[in-house]
Structure 1
Amino acid sequence: MQTPQTGETAANLYETDFYAWTQQQSQLLRGNEWNHLDLPNLIEEIEALGRKERQELRNRLSILIAHLLKWEFQPGKRSRSWLATMRVQRRDILQLLRENPSLKPYLEEALPEAYQNARDLASGETNLPLSTFPQQCLYAFTEVMSDRYYPGEATNDDLME
């Protein structure tokens, strides 16, 4: 199907003007014009949306775990900022899982992957050698997500409520 504005096919439009392609595909879906849909690219984009949700979960876990590592391995530098980041990431992960409950089985795979990224982040942000941090994640997912879990020896000052 050619677009009236440009005369381009849907597949070409996908390559040259993604936004226009999304609008065209949306209009075709609303009009039940199934035969005119750009199915190969539409399928690819739907699959990409699912991958982005998994990536979002891994990224948030990585940031949270990196801060848990920093908290544990640099107790003298603990800050309200680190605490706030951990709280926000925990809330956002829970929200993501509420909105996408089918991601829960992926957690078993996501946690070790996120941990490797977290080690890199923690090492880079603390200037501690990567070898400072255990090679395998020692935190259970329930600990990572618990708003009461802060590894290492904590004082009331650390948790600055």
Structure 2
Amino acid sequence: MDNLSILYDRDYILWLQETYELLETHNLSQLDLPHLKEEILSLGNEQRRKVSSYLYQLLIHLLLYQYWQAENERCAKNWQTEIDSFRFELSILFKSRTLYNFYLTEIDGIYTKARKQAIRKSELPGHLFPDTCPFTSEELLDPDFFPSS
């Protein structure tokens, strides 16, 4: 266990391989449990961070698409492409029901941040953007939904 713990700091990829082999052979007594527990928690946190990040970008682009009329003709196709990409990434993550449920709880909080960013980027008056998310959780993920401009 001590050797594996030292390996964690020296060669992370080798540590992963060795840890996998120990798990595969059910040699659980040799596991570096403190680091293994840390990595499992970190993996979950990283997946939630991805959901938050893609949702944030999706909301910004949907807001710009709907409310930034002066740029719509020039940017709409690019915004649609970005919206499709963020939805695709979220759909992959949502193979996990836990991450989908996390998404549902995060929409309102992330919307507030995305709204601020859309206001900054567009330099439009803040009152043009709704204070609460104008999109349902289903619309956000619907590949055929684009808000009317």
TM norm structure 1: 0.77
Q: 2:88 matched to 1:82? A: no
Asked if residue 11 in structure 1 is aligned to residue 8 in structure 2, the reply is no
5+ residue gaps, structure 1: 3-8, 154-161
Query: After superposition, what is the alpha-carbon deviation per residue over 1:57-76, rounded to whole angstroms, capped at 9, x for unaligned?
Result: 11111111100111122022
Confirm or deny that 1:35 pairs with 2:29: yes
Q: RMSD of the TM alignment (CA)? A: 2.2
Percent identical: 27
Structure 1 stretches of 4+ with a deviation exceeding 4 A read: 129-132
C-alpha displacement at 1:25, in angstroms?
A: 1.0
Moved more, 75-84 or 106-115: 106-115
Amino acid in structure 1 at the alignment position of 2:129: F
Number of aligned positions between the proteins: 146
Q: CA-to-partner distance for each residue in 1:69-113, whole Å, 9 max, x for gaps?
A: 11122022122100111122222222221x212322222212123
Residue 143 of structure 2 corresponds to 147
- Scaled by the length of structure 2, what TM-score is found? 0.82
Higher helix share: 2
Matching of residue 73 in structure 1 with residue 67 in structure 2: yes
Matched, 1:46 2:40: yes
1:66–1:119 CA contact under 8 A, matched in 2? yes
Q: Does 1:133 align with 2:124?
A: no
In structure 2, C-alpha distance between the alignment counterparts of 1:96 and 1:86, rounded to whole Å: 16
Whichever residue aligns with residue 139 of structure 1, its letter is F
